[in-house]
Amino acid sequence: MEPEYKHNCPGCTYLNTIEQHSKVYDLYYCTPSQVVGPGTVVVRKGNEPSDYLMGTEFAGFNPLLSIAAIHAIAKDLLSIEELKWYIADKI
């Protein structure tokens, strides 16, 4: 699978592209090399630089970020324990 949209972040690992109700979303996991710490899930929904959502801490509220988190777990970029920590911290 190839990304649908332009995305120029060198820290991002492409996870998958999903389609839902005729809308297409590219899923990424971002691990900025300069920053020590966990990465974050990213969902791109268009080519404009601002056409994205991000934040593992919002995966409990936003289904698209939740799906990105599941794909990141499947690729071993994020652990279930990390996701639980992010979600539990925000509830």
Applying CB under 5 A, the residues found at the interface with Zn ion are 9, 11-12, 30
Q: Which residue lies nearer to Zn ion by CB, 44 or 83? A: 44
Q: Which residue lies nearer to Zn ion by CB, 9 or 73? A: 9
Which residues lie closer than 8 Å to 6 by C-beta, 6 or more apart?
47
Q: Which residue lies nearer to Zn ion by CB, 9 or 24? A: 9
**Is 45 in contact with 53 (CB distance < 8 Å)?**
yes
State in angstroms the smallest separation of the CB of 68 from Zn ion: 12
State in angstroms the smallest separation of the CB of 41 from Zn ion: 10
**Is 29 in contact with 41 (CB distance < 8 Å)?**
yes
State in angstroms the smallest separation of the CB of 21 from Zn ion: 26
Edge-to-edge order in the sheet of strand 12-20: 12-20, 23-30, 40-44, 52-54
Q: Which residue lies nearer to Zn ion by CB, 14 or 85? A: 14
State in angstroms the smallest separation of the CB of 91 from Zn ion: 26
Nearest-Å Rg of the Cα atoms of the chain is 12
